[in-house]
Structure formats: C-alpha cells, structure tokens
Amino acid sequence: MADLVPSRIEVRDLTLTYGHDTVLDALNLPIPRGKVTVLAGPNGCGKSTLLRAIRRLHTGQKGQIFLDNVDIASLGAKDLARQIGLLAQNPSAPPDMTVEELVRLGRYPHQAMLQPWSEKDGVAVNRAMDGTGVTGLKTRRIGSLSGGQLQRAWIAMVLAQETDVICLDEPVNHLDMAHQLDCLDLVSKLNQEDGRTIVLVLHDLNLAARYADQLVFVHEGRVRALGQPEELMKPELLAEVFEVDAAIMTDPVHGRPICIPRGRARAAVQELA
Amino acid sequence: MVSTLAMSPQSQGLRLGPVQVYAGLILLLALSMLMSLTLGYKLYSLDQVWMALFAHDGSEVAVVIAGLRLPRALIAPLAGAALGMAGVMVQTLSRNRIASPDTLGLNAGASLAVVVASIMFGVQSLAGLSLAAAFGAFVTAIVVFGVAASAGGLSPLKIVLVGVTFASLSHAFVEVLLTSNEAQLQQLLFWLSGAFVDRPIALFYNGLPVVIVGAVIGIALARALDALQADDSTAAGLGVPLAAVRGLAFVAVALLTGAAVSMAGPVAFVGLVVPHAARRLVGLRHIHQLPAAALFGAVYATLADVAARFVIYPVEAPVGAITAVVGAIVLLVLLMRRAA
C-alpha cells in the first residue's frame, strides 16, 4: 500500500542531539499523503522533537527530511511555511489579541514585506474561521475565550496558512473530553474533506488509535513500529514501548482498537529484554 | 464598508477605524503644538505666534517664540513619537507589556554616556552632550543585545534581565560620578531628568532623519512583529526569521531611543505608557500600532511639556518628572490589573 501512495514526507536517518543527549537516533519515517499520521510514545521518546524537526524548527541535525522528494533544508523559510503548518504545543499570544488578529497571523508566509493585505488573504482568513466555527467570535479577545474556543481559534490560524501538511503538537492537552473530541473531529474533517496530510502528536493512546490512519510508536529516539492501529495495538508492543500491561479490545462504536491498562508491565519488559 | 467596521479589532469601547484615530490624533497634535507655542511663563496670542513664525519682525516677542518656544514645540512631539514607537517594539520583542526603553537600560546608558562625557572629557556643549547620549543608547543596545544573545538565545526574559542589570549598573556609575563631581551636579541634574526646554532647533533637524529611519524599519517589520507577539515556535512555524527580525527591531529601538535621548535627555516612561494607548485605539497589528504610538506619543510629550511649565509656576519643572509620575501611576494600574 505504501508503494501505491507515494509519501508526502520522508524522514531519512534523522539524528538529533541536545548537547550530549541523542534525542532522535537515525530515525526513518514515511508520512503518507492525505492521511492522518499519529506519533505516539512515552514521555521523552522524541515524538515532539520529531514533529518539530519535520517543520524544521530544530537545527544541528544529521540526516534528511524530504517533502515531495525535495530536501526541506533547501527550502526558504516562507516557502516551507506555505507547505507545512504547525500548531505548537501550548501556543501563546497576548490575551487582548482578537480572534481575527490571531487568525490573520497565518497569512504571514503568503505576504511580501510591504505587500498590502489582499482579497485572497481575506478569503483564506474567513474560510479558516468558518471551517473552525469561530467566525462569530472574531472580534472577541482571545483571553476571554474558553479552552475549546481558544484551541479552535489557533487551529484557524494554522488553517489560514493554507498548507497542505499540518502538524499539531499535542493539540488536546488541556482540553476536557468533549473538546478533545471536538478538536480531533475537526482535524479529521480537514483530512477527509480537503485531503490534507495531518501529522499529530498525541498522548492518549486510545485517541491515537481512533483517529490515526497510520500510527507510529516512537521509542528511545527511533520508530519502534508503524502501521494501522489494529497492527500496533498489541499487548506485547504496548508493554515494550509504554511499559503497560494492557488488554486490547475493539471499540464497539468505531471498530477501532482500544487499550485498557491493567498496570505497569515491569515483568513484561524484563521478559522481552 | 461593513467589513471595515467588522474588521475593527475593538469589540468593547471605541469603534473607530484607524483612519479616524489618525485624524483625531493629528488634530490633537496640532492643538497641543499650538498650546506649546502660546502658553508658558508668558502667554502669547495666536497673532503674535503667527507673526513670529511667518513674518519675523525682530521684536522681543518674535525672538522668544521663534528661538525658545518653536524648538520645544517641535522637539517634544518628535521625541515623544520616537519613544512611543520604540516602546511598542520593546514590548513586542520582550512580550512584556511593562517593558520599555527604560527597562532595556537604554535611557540609563545614555545618561551614563552624558555624565562621562561631561565629567571625564569636559564636554560642555549641548550638541556634544546629545551626541554622547545617542552614542550611549546605541552602545547599550548593542551590549544588551550581544550579552543576551551570547547567553544562549534572545529570549524575551533574558533581554529584559540583561537590560535591567545594565540599567542599574549605569545608574550606579552615574551616581558615583555625580557625587564625586558636585560642581557639575546642578547642570547635569536638569538634563538627567529629561527636558525639552532650552534646546537649539538644530537638535530637531539632527534627530528627524534618525527617527524616520527607525520608523521605516519598524513599519517594514510590521508583519513579522505581529507574528512575534505569539510564541517563538508559532512565529518560526509561520516562517519568521526570529533572530534577524529581533536584531533589526533592536537597531530600530536603539535609533529611536538614541534620537529621543539626544534631543531631550531620558524622558522617563513615555515608551511604557504610549503603547498601551496605541493598542487600545487601533488594536494589535503593528502596521497601525506603530503610527498610532507615534502620534499619541507626540501628543503626550507635547502636553506633558506644556504641563511642566505650570506645575511649579513660575519655575519650570523637568518634563521627565511629569512623565515619570504619569508613568508610575500607569505602571501601578497595570500591575494591579494583572494581579486582579
């Protein structure tokens, strides 16, 4: 299947170090076009670093990242920003900024230095706000929004960037359950309706399995396993990567695998080692 | 037309477009400059001002107006505009609404340069002292920027911490130098609190091009500065070259502050107060924030200069004392609001 759908992004032998710590270790990863890829793994496994490296926010790396067979190192900053959008982890902006002012920031890579605001910019901003349901909030200050509204405003900002690839770093971190689903349904809609390539970092394994077309387990700076959620949600693999002893069932509503952890899996880890 | 109104960032309070705001501020500026020409130790009529400016007859009145009132009526708004724009950029760069050129140590650096020039090199002329001030602000900017950058990245907090450290250091040196050289204390003290009085008009002509260059850099960076209001990852994700934008904006801040200090001395807290007013009037986009801050800063400094003539009439108060009091009140209100 991977051969039929050419990869949108190809990570090859990526090594990334912070001082003496190797965060990513000769990591390889294909990211298929028009699919939702979810990066999952325990704390400190390097999944957020990998996402940021794909958006070229980390320097001093060995290895290459190809976007449609072009090394992203050769692309200009704005050029890359027109192709890959990023919703950072816990993004921040002044609380008195209005929703519309925030969403307009997404147009930055499309504008030359003194080029006036164009009709195209306005259309993109309105479409982004419509798509995320924040049009009614556009004159509100972001400091006055609820957590769910705020996250939708941020997603609108990334949408206004009109990139075909969108990276989201733990976008549902501080949201309650309803807003987590709200946010991920929105991301899923962007993928299904507009065919955008989505790369997500998610902490919650059940959410990851529910929304991923391709699930990736990152462990100790390497890709330990990748494939469809059904292939990855196996007790042995979860014990090794997440150190949990878990039962796997099938979600009766969505037909996706869900895991129910029984406890930590020290024994299982020792056995595998 | 509907969209212009809807696009106005003001959800509460004023619902004015930027154009109306600019028009209003320009009107206010013209009025306050007229006040600056007519009001003072002596009151002059509009006729006398008109005569002095456009039909100089060599009379004493004309000499006072053209030689004393006119320079300050031009220098005050220019210095205010420069500090207002510098304040906007400093607050955006440091992502800190209580930061200002003062917090970056630029005013303090300028003061130190003036005191050193005066005491150690015997510089007496105002032109010499103002050159020293601009030099001091500029060197401080480079040093603060350099130290913050070499201490591992130009984080907003780091810039402010380094700035405050250098400000205290400069103040300490100033006090030591002044205490050990009492003879020059009186002369320097007036300068050190900032004033627009007794300035030759040449300072205005020297400052104007520098302020224009600083303003042009700011406007050219407007969109990048908008994006820099968000966190670094977001800004970088949008394709903003963070280091280049910060570096250039810092140059603009140094030029603007240096020009202001060279004309008026360290007029405290103008750069702190003005950006808040500008944002309330036109929102957070720098393409409007900067011009609004320039205009509001010009009005504010001119009115403060007029007020300085009357608070301890018939003696004139240093305008820096007036702006320091207003600034301190605004700062307290901001801090209390943040705490609330």
**Average pLDDT score over residue span A249-272:** 80
Kind plus residue range of the DSSP H or E element containing A22? strand A21-32
Separation CA B130–CA B111 (nearest Å): 10
Asked if residue A223 and residue A106 are part of one domain, the reply reads no
Kind plus residue range of the DSSP H or E element containing B156? helix B156-179
Residue B187 lies in a domain: yes
Q: Average pLDDT of chain B?
A: 86
Q: Check residue B12 and give its pLDDT.
A: 45
**Closest by Cα among B3, B73, B23 to A100:** B3
Residue B206 predicted with pLDDT over 80: yes
Q: Check residue B15 and give its pLDDT.
A: 55
**Closest by Cα among B148, B151, B164, B193 to B101:** B164
Which residue range is the domain that position A269 belongs to?
A: 233-273
Residue A156 lies in a domain: yes
Note whether A77 contacts B240, CB cutoff 8 Å. yes
Separation CA A32–CA A106 (nearest Å): 24
Set of chain B residues whose Cβ sits within 8 Å of the Cβ of A79: 239
**Closest by Cα among B292, B334, B337, B338 to B88:** B292
Residue A158 predicted with pLDDT over 80: yes
Inter-residue long-range contacts of B322-331, CB under 8 Å, 24+ positions, other chains counted: B323/B194, B323/B267, B323/B268, B323/B269, B323/B270, B323/B273, B324/B193, B324/B268, B324/B269, B326/B269, B326/B273, B327/B268, B327/B269, B327/B270, B327/B272, B327/B273, B328/B269, B330/B269, B330/B272, B330/B273, B330/B276, B331/B98, B331/B269, B331/B272
Joined together, the tokens standing for residue A158 give 């990334």
Q: Provide the number of CB pairs (under 8 Å) joining chain A to chain B.
A: 90
Question: At CA B228, angle to CA A134 and CA B257, rounded to 5?
Answer: 135
Separation CA B201–CA B189 (nearest Å): 22
Q: Check residue B7 and give its pLDDT.
A: 40
Residue type, B6: A
* CATH number, residue B131: 1.10.3470.10
ipTM of the predicted structure?
A: 0.90
Note whether A91 contacts B227, CB cutoff 8 Å. no
pLDDT single digits (tens) A13-49: 999 988 788 889 999 999 999 999 999 999 889 999 9
The number of angstroms, rounded, from the C-alpha of B55 to the middle of its chain's C-alpha atoms is 33
Note whether B11 contacts A101, CB cutoff 8 Å. no
Asked if residue A75 and residue A177 are part of one domain, the reply reads yes
pLDDT bucket at B154, cuts 50 / 70 / 90 = low
Separation CA A171–CA A190 (nearest Å): 15
Set of chain B residues whose Cβ sits within 8 Å of the Cβ of A100: 7, 9
Asked if residue A268 and residue A143 are part of one domain, the reply reads no
**Average pLDDT score over residue span B315-333:** 88
Q: Check residue A266 and give its pLDDT.
A: 65
Kindly tell me the number of DSSP H helices and DSSP E strands found in chain A: 10, 12
A140 touches chain B (CB under 8 A): yes
What's the DSSP call for residue B155? -
Q: Tally the domains of chain B.
A: 1
Residue A31 lies in a domain: yes
Which chain A residue has its CA at the smallest distance from B229's CA? A93
Residue B292 lies in a domain: yes
pLDDT single digits (tens) A49-88: 999 999 999 876 789 999 999 999 999 999 999 999 999 9
Name which of A48, A52, A89, A97 to mutate to probe chain B: the one with the most chain B Cβ atoms within 10 A of its Cβ. Answer: A97
Separation CA B82–CA B226 (nearest Å): 19
Pairing of strands A61-67, A70-71: antiparallel
Q: Check residue B11 and give its pLDDT.
A: 42
**Average pLDDT score over residue span B88-101:** 88
Residue type, A24: L
Pick from A81, A97, A114: which is nearest to B229 by CB?
A97
Separation CA A99–CA B14 (nearest Å): 18
Residue A251 predicted with pLDDT over 50: yes
**Average pLDDT score over residue span B204-214:** 93
Set of chain B residues whose Cβ sits within 8 Å of the Cβ of A161: 238
Q: pLDDT: is A6 or B95 the higher one?
A: B95
A77 touches chain B (CB under 8 A): yes
A105 touches chain B (CB under 8 A): yes
Residue B190 predicted with pLDDT over 80: no
Name which of A72, A82, A84, A108 to mutate to probe chain B: the one with the most chain B Cβ atoms within 10 A of its Cβ. Answer: A108
Separation CA B324–CA B307 (nearest Å): 13
Q: What is the side-by-side strand order in the sheet with A7-18?
A: A21-32, A7-18, A61-67, A70-71
Q: How far B229 CA lies from chain A's nearest CA (Å)?
A: 6
Strand partners, A215: A38, A227
How many CA within 13 A on the CB side of residue A257? Answer: 19
Separation CA A214–CA A199 (nearest Å): 10
Q: Check residue B193 and give its pLDDT.
A: 73
Separation CA A252–CA A260 (nearest Å): 14
Q: Under an 8 Å CB criterion, which residues of B touch A?
A: 3, 6-11, 95, 97, 219-220, 223-224, 226-227, 229-231, 233-234, 236-241, 279, 283-285
Asked if residue A43 and residue A150 are part of one domain, the reply reads no
Kind plus residue range of the DSSP H or E element containing A223? strand A222-227
Q: Check residue A54 and give its pLDDT.
A: 93
Confirm if A101 and B225 have CB atoms less than 8 A apart: no
Residue B212 predicted with pLDDT over 80: yes
Residue B13 predicted with pLDDT over 70: no
Residue B278 lies in a domain: yes
Residue A222 predicted with pLDDT over 80: yes
**Percentage of chain B lying above the pLDDT 70 cut:** 93
Residue B245 predicted with pLDDT over 70: yes
Residue A88 lies in a domain: no
DSSP class per residue in A127-158: HHHHHHT-GGGTTSBGGGS-HHHHHHHHHHHH
Angle between helices B156-179 and B185-192 (to 10 degrees): 160
Residue A3 predicted with pLDDT over 80: no
Asked if residue A172 and residue A157 are part of one domain, the reply reads no
Set of chain B residues whose Cβ sits within 8 Å of the Cβ of A57: 233, 236-237
CB-based contacts of B97, cutoff 8 Å, min separation 6: A94, B91, B275, B276, B334
pLDDT bucket at B273, cuts 50 / 70 / 90 = very high
Confirm if A134 and A158 have CB atoms less than 8 A apart: no
Mean pLDDT lowest for which of A63-67, A198-202, B33-37, B140-144?
A: B140-144
pLDDT bucket at A267, cuts 50 / 70 / 90 = low
Q: Check residue B215 and give its pLDDT.
A: 97
Joined together, the tokens standing for residue A110 give 């499309």
* CATH number, residue A21: 3.40.50.300
Q: Tally the domains of chain A.
A: 3
Which residue range is the domain that position B263 belongs to?
A: 16-28+72-339
Residue A120 lies in a domain: yes
Q: Average pLDDT of chain A?
A: 90
Separation CA B269–CA B103 (nearest Å): 9
Residue A16 lies in a domain: yes
Which chain A residue has its CA at the smallest distance from B235's CA? A105
A186 touches chain B (CB under 8 A): no
Q: pLDDT: is B159 or B288 the higher one?
A: B288
Which chain A residue has its CA at the smallest distance from B231's CA? A92
Separation CA B334–CA B105 (nearest Å): 21
**Average pLDDT score over residue span B200-206:** 89
Kind plus residue range of the DSSP H or E element containing A215? strand A214-219
Set of chain A residues whose Cβ sits within 8 Å of the Cβ of B237: 55, 57, 81, 85-86, 88
Mean pLDDT lowest for which of A200-209, B133-142, B153-162, B319-328?
A: B153-162
Q: pLDDT: is A7 or B214 the higher one?
A: B214
